[in-house]
Structure 1
Amino acid sequence: MNVSPSPSPMNRTEADRLIRDLGAAYDRISAAMYALDTHPDLAVLRGTQPGGDTARVAAGRPARIDVLWSQFTAFSDLLHRAREVRARRSRPGDAELRELAGLLRAPVVRLGADGMVLDDAVADPSAHSSGLVDLARRIETEAAGLAGALSEVVAARSRLAEGFGQLTATVARLRTEVGALGDAPTVAGDLDRLGRQIDEAYGDALGDPLAATRNGPVASRIRDRLRELTVEVTGLAGRLAELTELRDGYPGRVARLRAELDELVAATTETNRVYAVALAKIANPGLPDLPAANPALRIHLHQLDQLHRERRWHRLGTELDAVERAVATARRRMVELHEAADGLLRRRDELRGRLDAYRAKAGRLGLIEHVDLSARYRLARDLLYTSPCDLAAATRAVVAYQRQLNDLAERPTPGAKGAVP
């Protein structure tokens, strides 16, 4: 610092105004320098080696802040000296005003090419001098620029933290849920793997947070990886939700299963009864064999309860699904067999009803005593009312009776009731 008297002394009003303005600038610069010095990302930039876009933006930032501190120190010293001079007398004389002019207006601070404040003894042909007002303006401008660059890095890191933080929080929540479930080793292992992969991807993105959040190949790769990890975490969350639902919903599911087994037993009993009737009443029914009783389903239910008590959720889910499918399949099969056997009896009853209806029609037409028609009626009736009933033959006999009745109705036999003489 080189302090020399100003060639033209300033008046007291000008001196007071400059000291007041520079004091206000000092307060603003102090706040800005403190914010820069304590900025969390400044410590990161000093302690790490960012790459790519972030490296280019952050290049020389710590060194530039060191330069600012040297300038701020010089500015603070000069302002302090000016205040001391002004405080000597309430009405400063010419000597004080010339000294104030030298401190406040003269280019008394020597700066190197990089802006660092130089000692008077340092010989530097590239050095230049700056006055206190210009120095304050320079410090404020540079501090604002550095703060903006750091804010850009902070914003980029915040966006990355938000994206990856959501995944990390989800994985942590899922780990808690796995712990509450007890037996879910596969999910727990996948969560550990995903947690490591999320940390690795996040660390990779933090190596160049600006490139990772801007448009470009780096950001595209980071977004793709984040989507892949999100899909995996979502899939694990779904699997865990299924296991939790299995745990919580097991009592209701097993109660329904027991009720369905009871219904299956009742349906089996009814199907056996209908089968017995059909086998006794219908000749050559062609019914498939009834399945044998399956006590294994009841035993399986007890095994499910044991798996539930042991909290073996994966095995329980697999076995419970298998039992539910087996019971549903058995019930459908029993319905089919019941329908097949009952259908034969209904077919016989339907043929009986049709034969009675045709017989009534023959009576209305006066053809009850028609010899051939009566013979066909007796054949059909004998077939339908003989046990076991030959349904195929009875069907053919009823159809033959119907056809002859229709023919006679269209062309009455001479001598029959209703015939035209």
Structure 2
Amino acid sequence: MADTRGLDAVLRVRERVSAALIELDQSVAHRILQGARLTGTTRARWERAREDLADVWRVFDAYRRTLDRAEAARGDAAALAPLLNGPSVEVEPVRTGTGAGGLLGPAPERITVDAAVRRMSDGFDRAAATVKEADAAWSRLLPELRALEAARGAAAEAAERLGARGAWNRLDAEATAAADAVRTDPLGADPGRLARLRAEAERLLAALREAEPLSRGAEAARAGLEAEVVRAEEAAADARRACDDARAKVGGPPLGTVPDPGALRELLRRFDERCARGAWTGAAEAAADLRARAAESRRRAHAAARGAEDLLERRAELRGRLEAYRMKAARLGGGEDPRLARLRRAAREELWTAPCDLRTATAALDRYRAALAEHERSGGTGP
């Protein structure tokens, strides 16, 4: 039998349901979804969510009427029992069209208070999940979209100043489509697309900003690029001389490849051609490419020269070690030892022959060192 405590518990549930529905109804994301022009995944999800919410409110209206009657019957156990335990909630059917369901239409659906709460809870959870996901998607995407719009606007202004609108048109169309997708279909929008377009816009903006000075000072820029090419050519020439010198004096280990900076002249020609027709962004790209390749060419030339110098330094080191061993042999009284003399002459011949095979010379020097160590162990004495 129903009692006052049971009724109070049911009424508390009603207050919680009412508060949850009002909170969802007044949420910013819910209001945006109600008024927005939606497309794609978000539109499909929101249509299902609206159907769920419409059913929740329809059930809630019937549920609230039943509980109003129950509250009015407080203290009357006989009246309360069927209201709280029986199929007392009459849910009005959805009207689908004039004349549908016959003259009187479909009969109301009768469910219990508990069944009404379960049904509202299920529908509310599905709809709230859609609202929450859309809100989270907008929160995640809108800052990225604002950053894209900022880069997009700055690039558009720079392109307009340079008369290079064609460089912006394709990206502008893509950015417009991406922005529309974020606003109308946040659940289907690709965050990676925004990040990629923003990076493209920022790269284009950087290129346009670099191009602007070219449009006012192409001659000075050209002189700087010519200097870059000359520096690369001089570094390559120095490296070739160092490698030729090392190759003539040292054999064995392979030398590094000296870069050919000839392609830099082609890039310089491309820069000139683009400047001549006012293609400033293309000229800036050619200039940046030339500078990067010139720097890499110089790096490789310096590495080749350093490798050649290392080989000569290695030969000098071996010659120094041979002289140190000769002096040690003299101190140990081995200057007249025919075996030591023969091994020293063999090492010296290897080290003073051009080109010197460093591997063979190192092996000859090691044999002389080993014989000297053996001589010392067998009783050689110092001065």
TM-score, with length taken from structure 1: 0.47
Q: Please give the secondary structure, in 1, of the residue aligned with 2:356.
A: coil
Residue type at the aligned position of 1:377: R
CA shift for structure 1 position 309: 4.8
Q: CA offsets per residue over residues 207-226 of structure 1, 9 Å max, x none?
A: xxxxxxxxxxxxxx457759
- Alignment partner of 1:365 out of 332, 349, 356: 332
Q: Please give the secondary structure, in 2, of the residue aligned with 1:353.
A: helix
Residue 269 (structure 1) aligned with residue 250 (structure 2): no
Contact 2:248/2:354 (8 A) holds in 1: yes
CA 1:238–1:283 in structure 2 vs 1: closer, same or farther (change >3 Å)?
closer
CA shift for structure 1 position 323: 2.8
Instruction: Name the CA distance, whole Å, in 2 between partners of 1:328 and 1:318.
Output: 15
Contact 1:184/1:313 (8 A) holds in 2: no
Structure 1 equivalent of residue 157 of structure 2: 176
Instruction: Name the CA distance, whole Å, in 2 between partners of 1:347 and 1:307.
Output: 49
Q: How many equivalent pairs are there?
A: 244
309-318 or 331-340: which moved more? 309-318
Larger Rg: 1
Contact 1:373/1:401 (8 A) holds in 2: yes
Instruction: Name the CA distance, whole Å, in 2 between partners of 1:169 and 1:418.
Output: 83
Residue 342 (structure 1) aligned with residue 313 (structure 2): no
| Identity across matched positions, percent | 27
366-375 or 223-232: which moved more? 223-232
Q: Please give the secondary structure, in 2, of the residue aligned with 1:264.
A: helix
Contact 2:159/2:165 (8 A) holds in 1: yes
TM-score, with length taken from structure 2: 0.51
Structure 2 equivalent of residue 241 of structure 1: 205
CA shift for structure 1 position 355: 0.5
CA 1:286–1:166 in structure 2 vs 1: closer, same or farther (change >3 Å)?
closer
CA 1:336–1:193 in structure 2 vs 1: closer, same or farther (change >3 Å)?
closer
Instruction: Name the CA distance, whole Å, in 1 between partners of 2:149 and 2:353.
Output: 80
- Alignment partner of 1:398 out of 359, 365, 369: 365
Q: CA offsets per residue over residues 174-214 of structure 1, 9 Å max, x none?
A: 43332113224242233245447757976x6xxxxxxxxxx
Contact 1:368/1:374 (8 A) holds in 2: yes
Residue 191 (structure 1) aligned with residue 159 (structure 2): no
CA 1:249–1:349 in structure 2 vs 1: closer, same or farther (change >3 Å)?
farther
Contact 1:297/1:323 (8 A) holds in 2: yes
Q: CA offsets per residue over residues 288-324 of structure 1, 9 Å max, x none?
A: 6755x54442242132133245343553355344433
Q: Please give the secondary structure, in 2, of the residue aligned with 1:183.
A: coil
CA shift for structure 1 position 381: 1.5
* Ranges in structure 2 where 5+ consecutive residues have no aligned partner: 1-34, 36-45, 55-137
- Alignment partner of 1:300 out of 249, 263, 267: 267
* Ranges in structure 1 where 5+ consecutive residues have no aligned partner: 1-44, 46-50, 57-158, 205-220
Q: CA offsets per residue over residues 226-276 of structure 1, 9 Å max, x none?
A: 978865763453133222233147679766644443332222232232233
Residue type at the aligned position of 2:312: L
Contact 2:343/2:367 (8 A) holds in 1: yes
Residue type at the aligned position of 1:182: G
Instruction: Name the CA distance, whole Å, in 2 between partners of 1:255 and 1:320.
Output: 11
In the TM superposition, 1:22-421 aligns within 5 A as 174-192=155-173, 194-195=175-176, 198=179, 221-222=185-186, 231=195, 234-235=198-199, 237-248=201-212, 257-283=225-251, 286-287=254-255, 290=258, 294-313=261-280, 315-412=282-379
